[in-house]
Amino acid sequence: MVNPYSDLDKRILGEVYGSTETMDNLVVLCDDYNSRWPGSGDDRKACEYMAGKLEGYGLEDVHMESLTLPGWNRGFSRLAGISPKEKGSPCISLPHRAPGEGEVAPVVP
């Protein structure tokens, strides 16, 4: 079977491998739009950025669609040792984890 798009495929792959465009887009998404958590606002801005890029590449009918996702905004987190001496450690909250107050439990070395 002959691929009628072989020449076009080769040109596209040449652009992908010979250009920094893909990495440039990734850097912008990571550096300018943060973690892009659903509902954070950065998620929509990142989609708008990519929609603009796709239109700039000549794609037609580029559009965004609305959908319902559970939103979550990272709040304050604290990890604290209370015995034998009080000591805190840096930590971050992660999505899809148990909410609310933590349980006091011994840390076994």
Query: What are the extents of the domains in the chain?
Result: 6-56
Query: pLDDT class for 45, splitting at 50, 70, 90?
Result: very high
**Burial category of 87 from C-beta neighbours within 10 Å (exposed 0-12, middle 13-18, buried 19 and up):** exposed
Tell me the Ramachandran region of residue 61: left when phi exceeds 0, alpha when psi lies from -120 to 50, beta otherwise: left
How much is the pLDDT for 20?
92
* Structure-token pair, residue 93: 């909250």
- How much is the pTM? 0.58
Distance in angstroms (rounded) separating the CA atoms of residues 25 and 53? 9
Q: What percentage of the chain exceeds 70 in pLDDT? A: 85
pLDDT averaged over the chain? 84
The better pLDDT of the pair 103, 84 is held by: 84
List of residues 6+ apart from 38 with CB closer than 8 A: 69, 70, 71, 72
Query: pLDDT class for 109, splitting at 50, 70, 90?
Result: low
> In one letter, which amino acid is 101?
E
